[in-house]
Amino acid sequence: MTKESLRLLDANLNRLREGIRVIEDIYRYIFNDKEISSQLKELRHKARISLYEELLDSRDIQNDVLKKSTPSEQNRTDLHSILIANFKRAQESSRVLEEFGKLIDIKTSENFKDIRYKLYHLEKSIQNDL
C-alpha cells in the first residue's frame, strides 16, 4: 500500500472516530442516554485497522492542502446542527474506508460498510433528537 493511501486511511479513520465521539458524548453527557452512547462507543472501537505504525508514519498534517476550515465547518447554530454534521462526517469517512479497505482485505472493507449502515440506522432511529 502506498504512503498516500495510508495517509488517506489515517485521515478518514481519525475523521470517523472523531465524528462518532462527538455524537457519543452528546448522548452520554447531554441526553444521558446509556443505550445510544454505548452503541456509538462500540462503533468507535470497531473503527480500527491493524496498521497503526504505518498509518502514523504516513501522517503529513503540514502538507494537507485543505487543513484550513471552510466557513460551513465553522458554523454551528445549535445541538441539532452539531449532530447532523458529525453523523454526515462519520458516514462519509466510513464510505471512504470501505472502498480503500478493499486494498487491505474484504473483511476490513465489510467492517466499515457495517459501521456506515449502523450509523445510517442510528441517525434515523434518533431523528427526533436531530
75 or 105, which is more confident?
105
Residue 53 pLDDT greater than 90, yes or no:
no
Residue 97 CB partners (closer than 8 Å, separation 6+): 9, 12, 13, 16, 47, 49, 112
Cut 0.75: pTM above it: yes
Domain boundaries, the chain: 3-60+78-129
Across the range 97-123, mean pLDDT stands at 96
